[in-house]
Amino acid sequence: MIKDLSWLNSPLQMWVQNAVLWPVPPAPSLDCHGCTRANRAKGVIADRWRKRKCCTFQPFTPNFLLGAILETQKLPHFSQAVNSPLGLFPTSEYRRRYSSTHEDQRGENLLCAFFDKSNASCRVWQNRPSECAVYFCQETRFFKDRSADLFDLENAIAQMALIHHGWTAKEVERLLGWMDWSDADQVGFCWKHYKDREQDFYHSCWHWAKALTLNEIYSWLEPSVQARFDTWICIP
Ligand code: SF4
Ligand code: SF4
C-alpha cells in the first residue's frame, strides 16, 4: 500500500517513512493556493481569507526546524515572537491579541513572520511546524488529534536538543515554563554558551536531529503521548 506522507513537513516525513501507519484517512482536499475558505466566503471576509489565509497565527517553531529553515534561507525579523533556545514562540502580547480577535477579523498585525505577503503563501512550507502541517480548516477529528501528537513530538526533540548541547534538565524545565509566562520576552540570558550565536545553535540542532530515528524519539515521549501515537503508527 502506498503511504501518503505529504501532509507532514519534511523532517517528519523523514522520521516516519520507515514506520507502518495504521489506515489513515486521506487528508481533506483543500485548495490552499486559492484558499477554499476564501472561495466560500463573501465580500471583505473573502478578501481577508484570500490575502492572509489561515496564517494570522504565529506557530511554535522548534529549534531544529529553525535550523532546517536556515539551510535554504535567512530567518525573518520576528517582532511578535521570541527567539529562545527551545525555538520560536509568540510573545504573550501576541497571544492575547490573537485569542481576543475573531478569526474573520484577524488582520496583518497577526500575520506569521514566515508568511510571504507578495504571493500569499508560506515561505517555509517544507519545514513548516507540525501545527501548520496538520491544520485543515475543514474539521477532521483524525488530523486535529495528530496536531497534539506531533506538537509533543517536536517539543520533545527540541528539549533533547538542548540536553545534547549542554543545558541541564532543570534549565530545560525553566525554559518550558517561559513558553507560558508573561515575561517570555526576557529569555535572552538563557542562551548560555550560545549567546550571540543563536543561528549556529539552530544549525547544530538540525544537524543533530537529522541523525535521529523515530524509535529514539518515541522513547523520549511520555507514556500517555506514546499511547496516542500507538493508535495510528507502529514504531519499527
Ligand atoms: S487550510 Fe488555510 S489556506 Fe488552506 S483552505 Fe483552509 S484556510 Fe485556506
Ligand atoms: S509557518 Fe507557514 S503555514 Fe504556518 S502560519 Fe506561518 S506562514 Fe502559515
- Type and span of the H or E element at 81: strand 81-84
Model confidence at 161, in pLDDT bands (50, 70, 90)?
very high
Closest ligand, as measured to the CA of 139: 1
Rounded to a whole number of angstroms, the CA Rg of the chain reads: 18
Average pLDDT over residues 130-159: 93
Lowest mean pLDDT among 103-117, 166-180, 197-211: 166-180
Lowest mean pLDDT among 135-139, 206-210, 223-227: 135-139
The residues near 145 (Cβ < 8 Å, ≥ 6 apart) are 228
Q: Is the pLDDT of residue 88 over 90?
A: yes
Average pLDDT over residues 182-190: 68
Cα(96)–Cα(103) distance, rounded to whole angstroms?
13
pLDDT at 185: 61
Percent of the chain with pLDDT over 90: 77
Q: Is the pLDDT of residue 139 over 90?
A: no
Residue whose CA is at the smallest distance from ligand 1 atom 3 = 32
pLDDT at 233: 94
Average pLDDT over residues 142-160: 95
Cα dist from 124 to 12, 46, 69, whole Å? 14, 24, 7
Q: Is the CB of 87 under 6 A from ligand 2?
A: no
pLDDT for 17-72, tens place per residue? 989 888 888 888 889 989 999 999 999 999 999 999 999 999 999 999 999 999 99
**Separation of CA 94 from chain center:** 16
pLDDT at 25: 86
Q: What is the DSSP pairing of strand 61-62 with strand 87-90?
A: antiparallel
pLDDT at 236: 72
pLDDT at 2: 55
Q: Is the pLDDT of residue 179 over 80?
A: no
Contact 232, 146 (CB under 8 A): yes
Average pLDDT over residues 203-218: 97
Ligand 1 centre distance from Cα of residue 99 (Å): 19
Report the atom number in ligand 2 closest to the C-alpha of 112: 6
pLDDT at 183: 62
Average pLDDT over residues 100-107: 95
Lowest mean pLDDT among 27-31, 37-41, 127-131, 164-168: 27-31
Ligand 1 centre distance from Cα of residue 133 (Å): 11
Q: Is the pLDDT of residue 210 over 70?
A: yes
Q: Residues lining ligand 1, judged by CB closer than 6 Å? A: 30, 32, 35-37, 53-54, 135-137
**How big is the CA angle at 199 (ends 68 and 8), to the nearest 5 degrees?**
20
Return mean pLDDT, the chain. Answer: 92
Which residue(s) pair with 83 in the sheet? Answer: 88
Ligand 2 centre distance from Cα of residue 128 (Å): 6
Which three-class secondary structure state does DSSP give residue 139?
coil
Model confidence at 92, in pLDDT bands (50, 70, 90)?
confident
- Of 30, 80, 117, 124, the residue with max ligand 2 atoms within 8 A of its CB, to mutate for a pocket test, comes to 124
Q: Is the CB of 135 under 6 A from ligand 2?
A: no
